[in-house]
Every structure is written in structure tokens, then in C-alpha cells.
Structure 1
């Protein structure tokens, strides 16, 4: 999940929650008194405490003396968005669920996923996924995730790691 924090009158800042290290996730857990699973679920529901704590911890990478009380966004200044991989996984899961009974049509898929671009950091990628899924038989294999150009700037102000921060056995990203 990407947290988009837009301070009043300023440019949006993006924070990739998946870039957290275990030690940082532990700090988030202790700060808001929630287990990591609850924090991740909170992100899916735009939980203000979860978003605030993650933004704070990620900001501490460049400002180690930053105190939690100093990161106090307005309630409408933060939202979460799917990254490209999460959007692709979501579409794959929705299509699998809809086609499990064999009665889903392209129109059913389009209707269920119509708001996907609104909850994705890359709306164009989401629209391309939707176009592909509504152009094909919904029972067809899931779409491949397009490669991100190496020329494209990172969407987050945090350090990126070349490998995934989740284990292969993780149920969610």
C-alpha cells in the first residue's frame, strides 16, 4: 500500500508501507498498540493511526529526531492507494472469485472493478488492467504485470530495495 500524504497547500508525498523494515514495523506496532496484521488491515481501511504511524516512521529515516507528535496530519490529508502489483493481484483475485461459479461475464467484471482506478496510485495501469479484463473472456488467465521502466522515478521518498520485503509464504503484500 502506498500512503499519499498531502499537507494543506503542499505537494503530495508518497510513502510505501511495504518498504518498512521489521524493526520499523515493530515501532509502528508499539506506537499505536496494534499487531502488524491489524496495521495492514487498517491501511486497507484508511485507518488514520496506521497511516500516521507509518508516515512518521518513514519520515524518521531522513529526520531521526522527528517525534510522533510532530506528524499530525489533518484527517483528510492521507489516503492509501494500491501500487501496481497490488492492483494486479486485486484484479486477479476478483476475476477468480467472479468466475468460480462460471456465470460471470465481461460486464460483471467491469461493473465490480469500475472504481479500481480511483484507489490505485497508477490510475493508467489500473485502466489498462480493466480494459484487458473487459476485452477478454473473464475466465482467461490473469494479466501479466507490466514491467516498470527503469527511467521512471520512484513514487516514494523512501529507499527502495531490489528484493521484496515480504516472504513467499505471506498471505498479503
Structure 2
């Protein structure tokens, strides 16, 4: 998950929760009194404590003296978004779960996923991936029609037959 923190009047900052080390995750657990799995699932629900502790720990890497109490964003200043891997996993799993259902078209799947890019850190990537995964495959070009053995064996050569036709050229050895 990517935590997007946009302080009032400030520039957008992004923090990748996947980059936390185990020691940092342990500190996060003790700081907000939640297990790591609860923190991760809290990110999916935009839990403000989960987002805040991630932002604090990742900021602490460059500001070691930063205290948790000093990271106090407004409740609307943080948002958790899917990173590229999570976006890919979500779309791939969604498409795979309904592919092959006779009453579900690729257009239906694209329609169902239409709001997903709103919760992805890389919106364009999500839109592109949805388009790729929900485009109906084109039927392969069958190529030139070949005569079957039974057609050519019966003495009925077709235009695509592999048997030679008698030459009508004056320079032909059979003329």
C-alpha cells in the first residue's frame, strides 16, 4: 500500500508500506497497540492510526528524532492506495474469477472495475491494465484454406491444392 499524505498547503508525499523493515513493523505494533496484520488490513480501510504510524516510521528514516506525536495530519490529508503489484493482483484475480462465465462479457468486467483506478497510486497503470485484461481476444486469422487429402486424392484439385496442374506453356517438356 502507498500512503499518500498531502499536508494542507503542502506538497503530496508518498510512503510505501511494503518498504518497512520487521523492526519498524514491531515499533508500529507497539505504538498503536495493533498486530501487524491488523495494521495492514487497516490500510485497506483508510484507518487513520495505521496510515499515521506508517508515515511516521518512514519519515523517521530521514528525521531520526521525529516523535509520533509530531506527525498529526488532518483526517482528510492521508489516503491509502494500491501500489502497482497490488493493482495487478487485484485486476488479475478479478478477471480470472469471472472469466469463462458464459453470461459475463469483457465489457461487464471493465464496467465492474471502472472505479478501481480511483484507489490506485498509479491511475494510468490501472486503467491500462484493465483495458488489456478486459479486451476480448481477437479470433486468430485462419490463413489460406488448404485442400484436404480426400479432396486432392479424388482428382478434384482446388486452387490451393498442392498437386501440380499440367502446364500449358509452349516451352514445357510435355508440349
Displacement of 1:18 in angstroms is: 0.1
Match of 2:117 in 1: 117
Alpha-carbon distance change, 42 to 89 in structure 1, aligned in 2, over 3 angstroms: same
Whether the 8 Å CA contact 1:109–1:133 is kept in 2: the answer is no
Question: 5+ residue gaps in structure 1?
Answer: 138-173
CA distance in structure 1 between the aligned counterparts of 2:108 and 2:32, rounded to whole angstroms: 39
Measured after TM superposition, the shift of residue 111 of structure 1 is: 1.7
Match of 1:19 in 2: 19
SS in 2 for 1:14: strand
Q: Within the alignment, does 1:8 sit opposite 2:30 as a pair?
A: no
CA distance in 1, matches of 2:43, 2:94: 19
CA contact (8 A) 2:92 2:133 kept: no
- Alpha carbon RMSD of aligned pairs, Å? 1.3
TM-score when scaled to structure 2? Answer: 0.75
The one of the two structures with greater contact order (alpha-carbon pairs below 8 A, sep at least 6) is 1
For 1:124 and 1:57, the matched residues in 2 are separated by 29
Q: What secondary structure does 1:66 align onto?
A: coil
Number of the residue aligned with 2:85: 85
Bigger Cα Rg: 2
Unmatched tracts of structure 2, length 5 or more: 138-175
- Kept after mapping to 2: 8 A contact 1:4/1:79: yes
Task: Judge which range, 2-11 or 92-101, deviates more.
Answer: 92-101
Q: Where does structure 1 differ by over 3 angstroms across 4 or more consecutive aligned residues?
A: 100-103
**Alignment partner, residue 127 of structure 1:** 127
1:38 corresponding residue in structure 2: 38
Q: Which residue of 1 aligns with 2:62?
A: 62
Provide the aligned length of Structure 1 versus Structure 2.
137
Aligned partner of residue 30 in structure 1, secondary structure: helix
What SS does structure 2 have at the residue aligned with 1:80? strand
TM-score by length of 1: 0.76
The corresponding residue for 2:107 is 107
